Every structure is written in C-alpha cells, then in structure tokens.
Structure 1
Amino acid sequence: MARRLPSTPPTLPGFSYITVLGSGGFADVFLYEQNLPRRQVAVKVMLAEVVNDSVRQMFQAEANLMAQLSTHPSILTVYQASVSADGRPYLVMELCSSSLGQRYRRESIPVADVLRIGIKIASAVETAHRAGVLHRDIKPSNILTTAYGNPVLSDFGIAATLSESDTPEAVGLSIPWSAPEVLNDDSSGTIASEVWSLGATIYSLLAGRSPFEVTGGSNTSADLIARIAKAKPGPIGRADVSPQLERTLQRAMSKRPDARPGDVMELIRELQSAELELGVAQTPVEVAMDDWALATVADLDDRTRIKGVPAVNPDAPGRRRRRQPVAAASGAQSQVGTLIRQSRSAYPTGTGVPRPSRQRTVLTWALVAVAVLAIAFGATATAVMIRSTTNDLPRVGAISASTTENTVVFSWADPGRLPDDRYEVRLDGQPSVQQASRFTSAAEPGDRVCVTVAVVRNGTTGAPSSEKCVDF
C-alpha cells in the first residue's frame, strides 16, 4: 500500500514544533508548543502540493466556520489561522485526543456514555444548523475528547451553507456514515442526511462497527454502498441497548429522508427519552436560544467563502531563526562600531573643540584593531567548536516497535542529543526530520515497514541506526 510521509512542519512565529499527530488527504496535523501563553496546541497545515485557490478558500472557510462556531462547548476550539512563511495555510486548534475513533472498536462503551456523547455532539450539529451550516462529515473519528473528557466535533473542512446543499457537488465522503441520498449523488447534504449520519455514528459507538459493516465478511466501499442503498442495519447486538433506542436509531437511518426525525432537535429528545428509560440523568441540550448568540456567523454568502488570502510578510519578526555564530559576530561588530562612534562623537566637528591629539587617535585605532582581532579569534574558535561537535554525533541504539489496528509506532532512547538536535527518520528510504523520539506510520496487513534513525545537528546528519523492520 502506498504511504506518504508527513510534510515538513513549518516554522511558525511564536510556536515550537514537537511531533506529528496525524495525516490526511489535504493536510497534516502537528503538535506544537505555543510560547505565549505557553500551552500545547494542534496545528493543521495544508499540503503544499494541493494548495490552490479553491482548496485555500475551503481551508479558510473552515477556519472562519470553526472560529465562529467554536464558542459552543462541543465544537473544537480554533485559536488562530494564518499562512506560514512557505505559503501553506494553517489552523491552530485546541489539543484534544482522537482516541474515541479507535476506542469504540476495541471495547464496549457504556450506553449512558454513548447517549451523553450523542446528545452533546447533536447539540453542536443543531447549533451549526441554526447558523445555516451543514457539517457533512459526521463520524466517530471526527469526535475528539478534551483533557476534561468532553466530546467535541471537529473537521468542518467540507461544510456548506444550507442554501448550497440542494445542489449536488463533489464532496469528500466517509461512506459508512453517509446517507443513501448523498451516496447516490441526489444531494450533497441536508438536515435529514445529517440526522442519518448522527444515527449511524451513535450506532457505531454502541455496536463497535459501522451500521452496514459485516463482521468477518467483505466490507469494500462497493459492498457498503450497496447495503446502505438497499438493506437495513442489523441489530446492535447488546443486551443493555433497549428496544426503544434501537428503534430510534433505525428511524434516524431510514432510507426515506421524510421518515427520519424532522430535525436534530427531535433526535436529541428521543435520545434523552432513552436516558430516562435507562435511569440516568438527562444530558442537557446545549443550543443557543437567543438570536445574538448566533450573530457571530456572517450572512449566508460569507459563511463558507473567504475573499482573499492574508499576505505573508517575509520581513516579519520571528520568521527566521538567527544562527548563533553570526549573532556573536554581529555583537562584536556592533561593539567596534560603538567604539568608533564614541571616538568621533567625543570631538564633534564645528563645535570649537580642538581635534584629538595624534596619541589619542593612535590609541583609539589600536583599540579598534584589538576588537577586530577578537572577532577573528572568536569566529575561529566558533568554527573549531562546530567541527568538534558535528564530527562525532551520537548514534541511536536499538529501536523498538509496537502495533495497533492500523499503525506501527517506533520508539528509541535518547542517545545524548543537544537541545537543538533533531532526528532524521527514514521510512522506506524517505527522510523526515522531527524532535520526538517516536515515529508513527500507517500500515495495512501485508505491509513491511522499515525505518532508520539518525541525529541531525547544524545541518549535519550522523550515522544511522540499524534498520528496524516490522511485518504488519
């Protein structure tokens, strides 16, 4: 299976790169540390090869939508958006866990927890609908979890306004959670199709699989599309899921849009009824009830459209890191310049003060000469120091590996790096530079994944480790 390495993380003013969090078709997500205020953040960066006017507008639309809607407690918070020095748009977002997208396949999540998650995410979707926005990609992997265990909806990358939704268009599809009318290109998304996706998502969290996935059977895209178009989802298969909840989800995933709950709020009320039947406290609905609370979203024409791309100022402070040897030399040269200016300003012209004596002039230029020699010796010493530290870089020792459902995680011990050193990880011969001492690669059954790791210092790469291979 063809895989791609994550793109090179951009240098962002005010942020320090840490490691890769994930990769998608249009963007990579990296972990950065924000310098002020100090906190860890997730930064979504567009891939350079896909950036064009259309994709850039889509990305900026996502930034605006999420910023305007992220005041909702169950929508991922966006802190800022901009364009990096190399021209790639990026979003700085709240750091959350994506573990729910894998957890539901590994373990049985309590019904009460699923209902709480479902109602909170449905409240977020209802809020977006009231602002005239469709999400169009509701699925388990787009539900993240905050540090305090609260679910939040992410990835409004293919969102659209309700006024645009009745015109079919090419959109990214997550087939197992897409309504039949969307898969048939009858619509690019409606409130009814979002109800279907919410029902399918809640079903998945309960069943441990998508609604039309057959355990042990063939589940290709064609198989799933055929089942979604013609079949009904099978029983969830859990004794603790009530018949009422099963009926609610079956109705939400009806083939006919008019047979589903009329809107997301109606689905929320049915989920709350299931909570009452279960004997747990009702999860409150989190929907803004006043018009001013939704007024942060602009008029319909501007909700998913951006008029231009912010200009990048290459001379902005913080765009380029200064190299320490150059900075040291610059400081010494500044001292020489100050010394010369002081010698001149001591006897300004045209003030009637007598010119300095020959002895004072000789002394001044002697001091200048001493300073110049200091610069030269300093530069020589710096060069010697760099050579002495780059000729003998530490070498990474044994690499360990672990596997999950669809990834391989490589890790290794720190061989004795300096603070500014980095690791060059080569996956199947392709290099990627990072700071973290672990590396994650996507994998599929039958893949053989091999890596080597080397320390990089001041542009010099040390000897690579022994190659570590995993047969997945």
Structure 2
Amino acid sequence: MSGTAAPDIPGLEFVRPLGSGGYADVYLYEQQQPRMNVAVKVLKRQGLTAAIRRQFVDEANTMAQLADHPFIVQVFRSDQTADGGAYLVMKYYPPPNLAQRAKAERLSVEEVLRSGIQIASAVETAHRAGIIHRDIKPANVLVSQYGQPGLTDFGIAGRGGHAEDVDEDVGVSVPWSAPEVLYGQSNGDARSDVYSLAATLWHLLVGRSPFEQPGGDNSAYALMPRIRATPVPATGRADVPVSLERLLSHAMAKNPDGRPQTALELARGLQAVEREQRLPSTAVVVLDETGRTAVSALPQARGADDHDRTSVRALSVPTAPVPVGAPAHGEDEDDEDAPATISGGVVLGVLALLVAVTVGVVVWAVNRGGDEGQAPVARPTRSQTGAPSRAVDYPEQPAIDARAVAGGVTFSWNYVGAEKGDFFQLRVGASEAAVPEAEVITVKTGSRYTAKAASGTTVCAQVKVSRSTGVPSPYSTIRCEAAG
C-alpha cells in the first residue's frame, strides 16, 4: 500500500487494505446500512494531477453506466473525501482475482471458456455503449463468491481513436496489449480489446502472459518487439483443443483486421469450442439493438436472417404439460389459480408427431434395404441429432504474419476451423497495390510460404483458405515485410 491512511467515509467502517495500483489504493469497508462489505478505491494524493483526477471521475461514470451488467463490477457511489481526495464505492469481490488464481493453480479449459464468454459479454456491452476498456488483463477480472467474473478497472477506458488522442498520463499494461496500441498506431478500439481478451484467456490457460519467457528478460522493452513480430505461441497444454489454440491465435493477430472484429464474434467462437468439446453451453449476455437485454445461448446457425443479432434460445423442455396459449412466465394471466390442462390441440400434436416418427423410421428402413431404384434419405448431421458439431464448419478469414529471413520473406498464417484437405492460395507482390493482380500461388501442405527477394526488398502477400467442398474463405489482409 502507498501508506495513505484510509479515509473516514460516512456510513462505512474501515476493515483492512486490499491492494494498491498506480494511482489508487483499495480498501475493504463495511457498509452499515444495509450491512455488507464493499470495496473502496481511493485516489493517492502523491503525484495527483488534473488528468488523473479526471480519469478517476471518468472511471466512476463509465462503470456506473454499465453497472447493470452481471459481469461488470458494480459502482454504488463516488464522492470526495474531507481533504479533497476522491473515492469509489464498489461491490466487493473476495480474492483471488483471475491473475492470482492462474498463478496458483491450473484453470480447466471448461472454466476458461466459460469465463471468456462471460467477459466477452461484458466487453461487447461496453463496446455497444461506445466504451473501449483498453486494459483487459487477468488482474482486472475479479471473481464473486459464487464464481462469476466481474470486469473492473475502467480507469483508462474511452471512446477510442488515434495515437494523437492519447493522454500522456494514460498508461497501458504491456503484456496483454495489442501491438498497434503499444506502438502508438491506435488509441484502442474494439479489435484491440479483442486482442487483450484473447491474451488474457491464453494467460489463464498457461499461468503467464503469451510473450513472457520464463527466466528471460520480460521487461516492457523486451516484450514489445515480441508482441509486434513473434507468432503467438501454443499453450503447450495437451488438453487445450486445437480449435481453441487457433481461435486465440486468430484473435491475437498482429494486424487488427485479421482478428474477430467484435467481442461478440470472439464469444461465438468460444461457444463453438464448447460445443465441439461437449461442454455445457455458456450464454452471451448483451444489450440488443433496442437497448434490451438479450441472451444468446448458442452460436446462431449459418444462414440466419441476422448473423449479428443475439436471440433468446430455449435450453430445456418443461417437464410439466403447458396449455396451448398459456402466457409465458412473468406475463399477465387472467386466472392464476386455474389448474394447467392439456388441450385437444396438444393431444393432436403429439399424435401427429408419433405418426411422423413412425413414417420416418419406415422410410429409413426401406432405404437401408438398399433398393437401387430409390434415392437414399439424407443422413442427419451431427448438429441435427443433437451431438456436438465441429467448432467451425467453413473456413474463416486467415490471419497472416510476415518475417524477414535471409534472401526473402516467410509468410505464415492461421485460422479457425481447419479441416483435413484444406489448402491455401497466395497472392504475392512487390507492393500492396500489386498483390490483388498477382498470380495465385497454391500451397497444398503446411501453413507457410517463403518468397525469395533481394535483401531490403519489400514483399507483400495475402492468403485465403480453400476447401475440397469448393467453399473458400475471404482473402486475409495484405501483410508486407522487407527481405532479410
């Protein structure tokens, strides 16, 4: 702690210190009416500037704006201390946070997927309110006594923008920050938050940040070049599915255009991995276009009318009969005491279902008999039978990286939903403008290609995934590098 005494706050009784950050200390207080524990974040007086004070006020307003979300830490109030300082009163989450947990224990893939979807829900909600978090990392994800994550520390959140908009007093957490933010090309946007969320999930699986080298130099100045140029390493865990490795690598693409463009898109990818691994599905909770809460329990099927709209999905079937036309739970009902009955419509519906099933069984039996003159009945897909489908059933846009090598440039790429038989088509040119007109190069095996060029010569390329079904992915963004 900074040594700053915990302030006297009306209605609150000091209990103990909780921690200290760059510009604030956090204390545990007991609220007297109603009696409950709360966390109080108090500005440090040392080094206090107008920018930090403004940042603190912005954090209070931002968190209050998002306070209703189940996975965002709730702010109860904000005020000034008697000596002119400032404080926030927030919901108390007992330790450890996710950074402490990941350091002390090995989190399961199931928990990381579930937490990732829930945090992505919070991030997507913030984005829809026009707010970029800018500091997503394991230490900023608290855990309630019921095991629910709570995203906190919106201290450097803002509306996004370019490097010239960055306040000199606003810092970033290097190990989990996107390269375009670290190198001043962006002040953060939805895609940089997607990167930080993916880096956070990678950290939760491994116990350290993605580009940290155990026993090596992990200072900010050593990490930054690795984040900018080194491919995302594998987690090294045998229980982490390949689909999750690829999704995290995709979400941490060096070029922001190569990542999932929204937190919701990343959440749907995580849901797909849950389905692939036969894990319980985790709902995405966001505000829809009308400002109402919408729950999306599963990724929408391809071909849906509105790919980006979330919807309410039924997760279970009632065990008791429900009368036709009965109001949904929570709606007005004319006679609350009237017993539930089964109408004739339900009986007829059940009989029709039995007939349909019987006919289906007969048709299946006839076709199984092998009559040559009759077309076979299409086999149901895994998703139709209720069994988990694969994470992605069509190739997504790949993320491409470039690395200078002696006498050329090596391009490598990754994507979600790889299948046996996939191959790749590259276009390589001497400039970005030349790439779209370049001759297509087919790569049958592997996910890398080295273009030969004289030292110092710029080489640019983009790649797409092709599948035996004839369904290709979109081309990746164009990546350029000077030959070594």
| 1:50 aligns to 2:71 (yes or no) | no
Q: Give the unaligned 5+ runs of structure 2.
A: 294-484
Q: CA, structure 1 residues 179+30, in 2 after alignment: closer, same or farther (shift >3 Å)?
A: same
1:166–1:190 contact (8 Å) kept in structure 2? no
1:98–1:143 contact (8 Å) kept in structure 2? no
| 1:187 aligns to 2:152 (yes or no) | no
Q: Secondary structure at the match of 1:267?
A: helix
1:6–1:28 contact (8 Å) kept in structure 2? no
Q: Pick one of 11, 15, 24 that aligns with 1:14.
A: 11
Number of the residue aligned with 1:273: 272
Looking at structure 1, the residues matched to 46 and 61 of structure 2 have their Cα atoms a distance apart, in angstroms, of 23
Number of the residue aligned with 1:77: 74
Number of the residue aligned with 1:104: 102
Shift of 1:165: 7.6
Looking at structure 1, the residues matched to 218 and 46 of structure 2 have their Cα atoms a distance apart, in angstroms, of 31
Q: Secondary structure at the match of 1:271?
A: helix
Looking at structure 1, the residues matched to 252 and 164 of structure 2 have their Cα atoms a distance apart, in angstroms, of 20
| 1:29 aligns to 2:20 (yes or no) | no
What is the 5 A alignment of 1:83-232?
83-99=80-96, 100-162=98-160, 167-170=165-168, 171-232=170-231
Q: Which amino acid aligns with 2:226?
A: R
What is the 5 A alignment of 1:447-466?
none
Shift of 1:166: 7.5
2:117–2:284 contact (8 Å) kept in structure 1? yes
1:142–1:153 contact (8 Å) kept in structure 2? yes
Looking at structure 2, the residues matched to 221 and 80 of structure 1 have their Cα atoms a distance apart, in angstroms, of 35
What is the 5 A alignment of 1:237-276?
237-276=236-275
Looking at structure 1, the residues matched to 7 and 166 of structure 2 have their Cα atoms a distance apart, in angstroms, of 36
Runs of 4+ in structure 1 over 6 Å off: none
Q: CA, structure 1 residues 106+82, in 2 after alignment: closer, same or farther (shift >3 Å)?
A: same
Q: Which amino acid aligns with 2:47?
A: V
Looking at structure 2, the residues matched to 77 and 102 of structure 1 have their Cα atoms a distance apart, in angstroms, of 21
Looking at structure 2, the residues matched to 14 and 23 of structure 1 have their Cα atoms a distance apart, in angstroms, of 23
Looking at structure 2, the residues matched to 292 and 173 of structure 1 have their Cα atoms a distance apart, in angstroms, of 30
Shift of 1:214: 1.2
Looking at structure 2, the residues matched to 130 and 241 of structure 1 have their Cα atoms a distance apart, in angstroms, of 31
Looking at structure 2, the residues matched to 54 and 218 of structure 1 have their Cα atoms a distance apart, in angstroms, of 32
Q: CA, structure 1 residues 241+183, in 2 after alignment: closer, same or farther (shift >3 Å)?
A: same
Looking at structure 1, the residues matched to 82 and 204 of structure 2 have their Cα atoms a distance apart, in angstroms, of 41
Q: Secondary structure at the match of 2:188?
A: coil
> Which structure is larger by alpha-carbon Rg, 1 or 2?
1
Number of the residue aligned with 1:64: 61
Shift of 1:211: 0.4
Looking at structure 1, the residues matched to 161 and 229 of structure 2 have their Cα atoms a distance apart, in angstroms, of 29
Q: Secondary structure at the match of 1:48?
A: coil
Q: Give the unaligned 5+ runs of structure 1.
A: 295-472
RMSD value over aligned CA atoms? 1.6
Looking at structure 1, the residues matched to 21 and 213 of structure 2 have their Cα atoms a distance apart, in angstroms, of 26
Shift of 1:233: 2.1
Shift of 1:86: 1.1
Shift of 1:192: 1.1
Looking at structure 2, the residues matched to 166 and 207 of structure 1 have their Cα atoms a distance apart, in angstroms, of 35
Looking at structure 2, the residues matched to 144 and 181 of structure 1 have their Cα atoms a distance apart, in angstroms, of 27
1:51–1:88 contact (8 Å) kept in structure 2? no
Q: Which amino acid aligns with 1:53?
A: A
Looking at structure 1, the residues matched to 126 and 8 of structure 2 have their Cα atoms a distance apart, in angstroms, of 33
Shift of 1:188: 1.3
Shift of 1:164: 7.0
Looking at structure 2, the residues matched to 74 and 172 of structure 1 have their Cα atoms a distance apart, in angstroms, of 24
Looking at structure 2, the residues matched to 36 and 108 of structure 1 have their Cα atoms a distance apart, in angstroms, of 39
Measured against aligned partners, the alpha-carbon deviations of 1:213-254 in whole angstroms (never above 9, x if no partner) come to 112222122111111011012110111101110000000011
1:134–1:191 contact (8 Å) kept in structure 2? yes
Shift of 1:123: 0.5
2:112–2:204 contact (8 Å) kept in structure 1? yes
Shift of 1:168: 4.2
What is the 5 A alignment of 1:332-343?
none
Which structure has more relative contact order (CA 8 Å, sep 6+)? It is 1
Number of the residue aligned with 2:455: none
Q: Secondary structure at the match of 1:5?
A: coil
What is the 5 A alignment of 1:425-440?
none
Shift of 1:133: 0.3
Q: Secondary structure at the match of 2:286?
A: coil
Shift of 1:153: 0.1
Measured against aligned partners, the alpha-carbon deviations of 1:60-112 in whole angstroms (never above 9, x if no partner) come to 11111101101000000111110011111100001103412111122210100
Looking at structure 2, the residues matched to 129 and 44 of structure 1 have their Cα atoms a distance apart, in angstroms, of 24
Q: Secondary structure at the match of 2:46?
A: helix
Looking at structure 1, the residues matched to 60 and 166 of structure 2 have their Cα atoms a distance apart, in angstroms, of 23
Q: CA, structure 1 residues 224+76, in 2 after alignment: closer, same or farther (shift >3 Å)?
A: same
1:74–1:150 contact (8 Å) kept in structure 2? yes
2:160–2:187 contact (8 Å) kept in structure 1? no
Higher helix share: 1
Looking at structure 2, the residues matched to 281 and 5 of structure 1 have their Cα atoms a distance apart, in angstroms, of 44
Looking at structure 2, the residues matched to 5 and 44 of structure 1 have their Cα atoms a distance apart, in angstroms, of 13
Q: Which amino acid aligns with 1:202?
A: L
What is the 5 A alignment of 1:413-432?
none
Looking at structure 1, the residues matched to 103 and 141 of structure 2 have their Cα atoms a distance apart, in angstroms, of 14
1:165–1:190 contact (8 Å) kept in structure 2? no
